[in-house]
């Protein structure tokens, strides 16, 4: 069995060593133009040339959860595109979102500013019942986030394309229930896959339907959010702020207005990083399963986009 590794801006040696340790009989190499044909590929943002030169691939394994960049390319028609199910990312995502929600709810940003100014002051406690958190996207990551938020006794809403049932989560589904979901939500958390249908989904019209003083947390893709609409709604007072981990252009350009906005908290696409050992174990297990003719989890439907 031959495996080719084509992951841009990723140090290949640890990945190759890890894959070789769990697949000792496989031939594993880093792809270069003109490389021999392989059976499976481990990829991250590969060029179109890679797939043009590897038309026989049976499995393409993405080392991240998002596959929107891959779906823009022409993949071999018989190749199965497989994304990571979790690989240690869901607990990181739950940590990040819970931190952002609690920081906003407890007004820790205001406390930090006061302490830096030498002011010893208290703020009136808020009611959790007034801070319903709405999670858009209830896949592996979204469900983990929703369950984690319940531990802090926030009311949790969930919206997904198809109906989902999670104990303690008020579920909404489909376009017909989207507006009701927004109207019931004070803090909006985006964990949707990026598809043509979800691009720009957080815009002036949709964000205006959040409860007054609403807050936005985007940990999915930058293209879900219309930047200027978010800023306008914060400046108007309808939204109280945002925590953003993903952006349309990364790194975020130095002249982007997000940098200087006092009510927007930024992090550099770090909410859930790929954990190499967990990812290698998952990818190796799925390669072996495909080789033996078994079905695997995480197969991407090109029509749905995830």
Does residue 104 carry a catalytic annotation?
A: no
* Active-site residue (options: 40, 104, 144, 221): 221
Confidence class for position 306, pLDDT limits 50, 70, 90: confident
Among 269, 273, 276, 304, the active-site one is 269
Chain position carrying tokens 């858009």? 136
Q: pLDDT tier at 64 (50, 70, 90 boundaries)? A: confident
Q: What is the mean pLDDT of residues 274-295?
A: 95
Question: What is the per-residue burial (b if ≥16 Cβ within 10 Å, else e) of 142-177?
Answer: bbbbbbbbbeeebbbbbbbbeebebeebbbbbeeee
**Residue 72 pLDDT grade (very low, low, confident, very high; cuts 50, 70, 90):** very high
Write phi, then psi, for 222 (nearest 5 degrees): -60, -30
Q: What tokens were used for 71? A: 């779906």
pLDDT tens digit sequence for 250-282: 999 999 999 999 999 999 999 999 899 999 999
Kindly report the average pLDDT of the chain as a whole number.
96
Q: Which tens digit of pLDDT belongs to each residue from 153-209?
A: 999 999 999 999 999 999 999 999 999 999 999 999 999 999 999 999 999 999 999
Gap between the terminal Cα atoms of the chain: 27
Phi, then psi, of 18 in degrees rounded to 5: -65, -45
| Catalytic (active site) residue 269 | yes
Q: Are 125 and 175 in contact (CB under 8 A)?
A: no
List all residues 6 or more positions away from 154 whose beta carbon is below 8 Å from its beta carbon: 101, 105, 128, 131, 132, 133, 187
Give the SS3 label for residue 183: helix
Q: How far apart are CA 185 and CA 167, in angstroms?
A: 18
Query: According to the model, what pLDDT value does residue 9 have?
Result: 87
Calculate the CA 69 to chain-centre distance: 13
pLDDT tens for 38-47 read 999 999 999 9
pLDDT band at 85 (very low <50, low <70, confident <90, very high): confident
Using the predicted structure, report yes or no on whether residue 114 has a pLDDT greater than 90.
Answer: yes
Strand-pairing partners, residue 170, are: 157
């Amino acid at each position: 069995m031959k495996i080719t590794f084509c992951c841009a801006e990723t140090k290949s040696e640890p990945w190759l060593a890890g894959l070789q340790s769990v697949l000792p009989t496989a031939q594993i190499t880093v792809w270069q133009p003109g490389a021999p044909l392989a059976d499976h590929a481990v990829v991250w943002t590969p060029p179109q040339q890679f797939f043009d030169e590897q038309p026989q691939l049976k499995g393409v394994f993405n080392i991240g959860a998002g596959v929107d960049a891959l779906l823009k390319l022409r993949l071999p028609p018989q190749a199965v595109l497989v994304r990571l199910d979790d690989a240690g990312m869901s607990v990181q995502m739950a940590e990040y979102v819970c931190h952002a929600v609690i920081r906003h709810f407890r007004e820790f940003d205001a406390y930090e500013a006061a302490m830096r100014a030498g002011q010893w002051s208290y703020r009136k406690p808020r009611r959790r019942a007034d801070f319903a958190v709405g999670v858009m996207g209830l896949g592996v990551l979204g469900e983990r986030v929703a369950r984690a938020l319940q531990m802090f006794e926030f009311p949790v809403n969930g919206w997904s394309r198809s109906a989902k049932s999670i104990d303690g989560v008020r579920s909404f589904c489909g376009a017909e229930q989207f507006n009701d979901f927004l109207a019931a939500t004070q803090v909006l958390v985006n964990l949707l896959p990026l598809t043509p249908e979800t691009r720009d989904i957080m815009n002036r019209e949709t964000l205006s339907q959040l409860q007054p003083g609403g807050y936005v947390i985007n940990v999915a893709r930058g293209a879900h959010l219309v930047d200027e609409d978010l800023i306008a709604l914060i400046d108007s007072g309808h939204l109280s702020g945002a925590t953003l981990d993903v952006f349309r252009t990364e790194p975020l350009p130095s002249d982007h207005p997000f940098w200087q906005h006092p009510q927007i908290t930024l992090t550099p696409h770090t909410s859930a990083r790929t954990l190499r050992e967990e990812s290698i174990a998952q990818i190796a297990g799925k390669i072996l399963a495909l080789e033996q003719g078994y079905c695997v989890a995480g197969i991407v439907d090109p029509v749905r986009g995830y």
